[in-house]
């Protein structure tokens, strides 16, 4: 834009008329002499006949001296070059920048306001949690994490300090995650619930607790069940982005893709309809009501997801059945998990609504589960791929749950350091390394000497 | 913009400099610049819209993409209103089988219904009693006629005695079923703790069945087509029940799932026996004895050893024959 410098609002300033310190208003309108002000002034004179010194404050007394001693002086402006200060080139440039900024203050103000509001948005956790939670923007309130606590505890096994520590860590991890993304967290105490007084149906309670959660969070759509011995390694992944936005691409409906249980699929009985006989159901994302990962031994319900739907209602209703329980409770060591595997195989209505997730999407295993080496890229946690969650499945049988939990927590913290922390750690690492090298050199020298 | 001559000033200057913008609403210079030309406005609007969309969809939303397969979906209700399903034992007397078939086919023809007559060995029963075959038979009929609304299983031991009575109008329309269904009554007589729900709506009913003296009688029942029907039939047909040796096979299994699973009980309408399953000889409930005018005359277990359906039903066939002629 070619534009001559425009006058200040109110017209050009005429040099000499408005000296900077007394131009209160823009165009000298502070000198409005009204009848009332004149009267007040004369009253003042009448009231105090004595001399009332003006300029009594320090600033007004010494104004001139201060202002003339400033490097940029408006006082000199009139004498030299007609209202244009010709001094140092640098200060001239600064002046021009300042003047341009002032000229563009309106548009710049808008930009500044936007930047400021972004900073405020991320600096106040409550605000962006609300944003991420809201159905309109983030949609975080559509997701609930159900965390089973106190598993395997109960009356028979008292929990030791390690178990408490594991639980505390696990809960803290999920709390932080759900808070960050605006999800809901439902912590379930598995030991206090039982349906029948004569039976200790612990860990069959999954069904009841999921139902309760569905009742408790009526706005939620997806429910993610998590066992205690799990740790979210990458809290920066949102469920939406990690899973639900690209369900079609990351899930497989046809179990033949990975079929450790050797379930014959699809069904071929002629009395079943086309959708039930199809390997992928109706193939639409909308018909997926359950997401489960498979480990080396079949379905794994340590971390799985259920969508609120009539289908899910029916599944939760039929899952526990006394006849099945009576016949199979000795055989079904993993309770719901085995029962669900059985139902998947024998009740055709279930298949078209179940989709499988690659295990490492939501349920990576540590070494020790499904192979001691921990080298199966389909099953085990891979640090370089930044897997989302680690499930220390089966650590209570002969492994050290607490040590695993601790190690993964440390690893997660290290992987998710912010740049400043990385920088600091990098420096300290550098010094440590050089120190080590020097030590080694010394040792070598000593060895040589010897 | 430059002019050769400055524009002429008015000879009466205004006492105060006028404000730059006449309109009182303040438009930021950026926006004013944008509004200057049409393409700018369009580009600006598009950018604004994109920003808004990006904000809205940044982390929320779910995906919807092309389906993996394309299975044509037939709307329920587009086909015949009722399909009659009867499982016929291939080892039975062929003349009698023919009569039973004709009995259903004539009725179906009269009211625009369809029929389905499978044999038990079509289905994978895994050594379970043959009476279990009614469950997959219904599922099979639903596969064959996906557009039909109601599927009526009628045992081969039963006869349709009132060919003029339209089952749909007589029993299945929501208003009628609401009138007839027995609510808050024990599912298994006389004193089961589980009772039918008392606040059911007629249009939500998916299973219509009658109760005889001993319990639910799955020798004549109606299932509405839909996802629930698949769930119900598959759950009922679970091998775990077939191998459990329920004393009365599928009928006890049915009572079991109805009593233990609320999602099934909530869809069940129990109707008086005389409307759907009147007994000629058998353990009928109160008012369940067959009388002239009832839709069905059932001879429960007439196909069991020592009995002969054809013989027992002979007088009724004659009655039907007379009705047809006169």
What does the pLDDT read at residue A200? 52
Residue B64: CB atoms within 10 Å:
11
B292/A contact by beta carbon, under 8 A: no
pLDDT at A174: 95
Q: What is the dihedral of CA A391, A396, A400, A403, to 10 degrees?
A: 40
Q: Which two tokens stand for residue A340?
A: 């669900």
Residue A114 CA: distances (Å) to CA of A108, A119, A224: 10, 9, 36
Phi, psi of B270 (to 5 degrees): -95, 125
* A299 membership: H or E segment, kind and range: strand A298-299
- A447 interfaces chain B, CB cutoff of 8 Å: no
- Write out the CATH class of domain B82-325: alpha beta
> In this structure, what are the phi and psi dihedrals at residue A98, rounded to the nearest 5 degrees?
-60, -45
Residue B294 has pLDDT above 70, yes or no: yes
Tokens of B67: 């389906």
A248 near B CB under 8 A: yes
Q: Does B95 touch chain A (CB under 8 A)?
A: no
CA angle B72, B76, B82 (to 5 degrees): 130
Residue B15, chain A, CB below 8 Å: the answer is no
Contact list in B for residue A245 (CB cut-off 8 A) is 61-63
pLDDT score, position A377: 87
Domain locations in chain B as residue ranges:
82-325
Q: Residues near A318 by Cβ (< 8 Å), separated by ≥ 6? A: A343, A347, B231, B235, B257, B261, B263
- Cβ contact, residue pair A240, B146, below 8 Å: no
> How much is the ipTM here?
0.81
Q: Is the pLDDT of residue A29 over 60?
A: no
Cite the DSSP H helix spans in A137-160.
Answer: none
Q: Which residue has the higher pLDDT, B40 or A174?
A: A174
The whole-number average pLDDT for the span A34-44 is 73
Nearest neighbour of A247 by CB, restricted to B63, B124, B238: B63
Model confidence pLDDT, tens digit, residues B203-218: 999 999 999 988 999 9
The whole-number pLDDT of residue B256 equals 92
Give yes or no for B1 touching A (CB within 8 A). no
Residue A226, SS3 per DSSP: strand
Top pLDDT among B33 and B281 is at B281
The answer, as to whether pTM is greater than 0.80, is no
**DSSP tag of B187:** S
Identify the residue with better confidence: B262 or B246: B262
Give the strand pairing for B296-298 and A184-189: unpaired
Residue ranges of A 289-328 with Cβ closer than 8 A to chain B: 310-311, 313-314, 317-318, 321-324, 327-328
- Phi/psi at B116 (5° precision): -145, 120
| A252 strand-pairing partners | A356
Q: Of A304-308, B79-83, B271-275, B285-289, which range is least confident?
A: B285-289
User: Around Cβ A57, how many Cβ atoms within 10 Å?
Assistant: 9
Closest CA in chain B for residue A314: B263
> Which residue of chain B has the CA closest to A139?
B60
> So what's the pLDDT on residue B25?
60
Find the range with the poorest average confidence among A25-34, A56-65, A247-256, A426-435. Answer: A25-34
Contact A144, A186 (CB under 8 A): yes
CB contact under 8 A, B68 and A253: yes
DSSP per-residue string spanning B234-279: HHHT-HHHHTTT-TTHHHHHHHHHHHH-HHHHTTEEEE-HHHH--B
Is A74 at the interface with chain B, CB within 8 A?
A: no
pLDDT in tens, B173-199: 999 999 999 999 998 888 788 899 988
> For residue B146, which residues of chain A lie inside 8 Å, CB to CB?
273
Express each pLDDT in A58-104 by its tens digit: 777 777 777 777 666 555 455 555 555 556 788 888 988 998 888 88
pLDDT at A355 over 90: yes
Residue B57's closest chain A neighbor by CA? A137
**Is residue B111 scored above 90 in pLDDT?**
yes
Rounded to the nearest integer, the mean pLDDT of chain A is: 81
């Amino acid at each position: 834009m070619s534009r001559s410098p425009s006058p200040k609002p109110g017209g050009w300033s005429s040099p000499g008329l408005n000296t900077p310190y007394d131009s209160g208003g823009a165009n000298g309108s502070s000198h409005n002499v009204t009848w009332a002000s004149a009267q007040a002034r004369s009253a003042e004179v009448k009231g105090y006949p004595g001399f009332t010194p003006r300029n009594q404050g320090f600033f007004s007394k010494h104004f001139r001296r201060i202002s003339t001693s400033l490097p940029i002086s408006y006082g000199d402006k009139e004498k030299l070059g007609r209202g244009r200060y010709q001094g140092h080139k640098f200060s001239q440039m600064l002046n021009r920048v300042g003047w341009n900024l002032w000229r563009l203050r309106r548009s710049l103000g808008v930009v500044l306001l936007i930047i400021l509001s972004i900073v405020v948005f991320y600096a106040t956790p409550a605000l962006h949690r609300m944003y991420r939670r809201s159905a309109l923007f983030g949609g975080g309130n559509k997701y609930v994490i159900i965390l089973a606590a106190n598993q395997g505890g109960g009356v028979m096994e008292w929990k030791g300090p390690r178990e408490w520590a594991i639980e505390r860590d696990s809960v803290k991890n999920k709390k932080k995650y759900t808070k960050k993304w605006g999800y809901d967290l439902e912590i379930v105490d598995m030991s206090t619930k039982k349906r029948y007084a004569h039976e200790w149906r612990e860990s069959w309670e999954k069904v009841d607790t999921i139902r309760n959660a569905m009742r408790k969070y009526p706005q939620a759509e997806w429910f993610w069940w998590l066992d205690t011995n799990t740790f979210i390694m990458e809290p920066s992944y949102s469920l939406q982005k990690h899973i639900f936005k690209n369900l079609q691409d990351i899930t497989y409906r046809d179990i033949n893709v990975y079929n450790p249980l050797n379930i014959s699929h699809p069904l071929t009985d002629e009395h079943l309809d086309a959708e039930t006989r199809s390997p992928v159901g109706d193939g639409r994302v909308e018909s997926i009501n359950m997401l489960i990962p498979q480990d080396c031994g079949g379905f794994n319900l340590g971390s799985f997801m259920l969508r609120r739907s009539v289908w899910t209602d029916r599944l939760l209703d039929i899952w526990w059945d006394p006849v099945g329980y009576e016949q199979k409770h000795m055989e079904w060591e993993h309770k719901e998990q085995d029962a669900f595997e059985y139902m998947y195989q024998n009740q055709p209505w279930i298949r078209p609504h179940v989709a499988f997730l690659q295990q490492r999407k939501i349920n990576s295993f540590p070494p020790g589960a499904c192979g001691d080496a921990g080298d199966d890229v389909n099953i085990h946690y891979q640090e370089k791929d930044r897997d989302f969650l680690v499930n220390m499945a089966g650590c209570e049988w002969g492994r050290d749950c607490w040590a695993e939990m601790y190690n993964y927590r440390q690893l997660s913290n290290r992987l998710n350091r912010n740049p400043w922390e990385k920088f600091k750690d990098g420096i300290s690492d550098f010094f440590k390394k050089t120190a080590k090298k020097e030590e080694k050199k010394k040792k070598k020298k000593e060895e040589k000497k010897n | 913009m430059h002019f050769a001559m400055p524009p002429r000033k008015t000879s009466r200057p205004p006492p105060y400099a006028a404000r730059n913008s006449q309109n009182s609403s303040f438009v930021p210079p950026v926006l004013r610049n944008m509004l200057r030309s049409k393409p700018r406005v369009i580009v600006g609007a598009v950018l604004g819209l994109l920003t808004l969309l990006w904000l809205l969809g940044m982390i929320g939303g779910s995906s919807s993409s092309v389906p993996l397969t394309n299975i044509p979906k037939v709307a329920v209700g587009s086909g015949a209103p009722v399909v009659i399903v009867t499982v016929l034992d291939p080892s039975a007397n062929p003349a009698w089988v023919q009569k039973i078939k004709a009995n259903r086919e004539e009725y179906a023809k009269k009211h625009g219904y369809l029929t389905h007559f499978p044999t038990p060995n079509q289905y994978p029963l895994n050594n379970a009693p043959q009476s279990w075959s009614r469950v997959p038979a219904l599922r099979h009929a639903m596969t064959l006629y996906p557009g039909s609304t109601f599927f009526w299983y009628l045992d081969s031991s039963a006869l349709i005695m009132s060919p003029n009575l339209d089952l749909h109008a007589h029993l299945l329309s929501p208003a009628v079923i609401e009138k007839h269904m027995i609510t808050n009554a024990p599912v298994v007589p006389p004193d089961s703790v589980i009772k039918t729900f008392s606040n059911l709506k007629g249009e939500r009913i998916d299973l219509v069945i009658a109760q005889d003296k001993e319990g639910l009688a799955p020798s004549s029942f109606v299932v509405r087509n839909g996802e629930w029907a698949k769930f119900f039939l598959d759950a009922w047909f679970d091998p775990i029940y077939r191998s459990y040796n329920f004393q009365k096979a599928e009928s006890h299994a049915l009572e079991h799932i109805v009593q233990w699973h609320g999602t099934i009980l909530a869809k069940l309408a129990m109707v008086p026996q005389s409307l759907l399953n009147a007994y000629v000889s058998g353990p009928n409930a109160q008012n369940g004895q067959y009388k002239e005018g009832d839709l069905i005359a059932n001879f429960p277990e007439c196909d069991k050893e020592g009995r002969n359906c054809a013989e027992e039903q002979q007088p009724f066939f004659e009655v039907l024959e007379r009705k047809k002629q006169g």
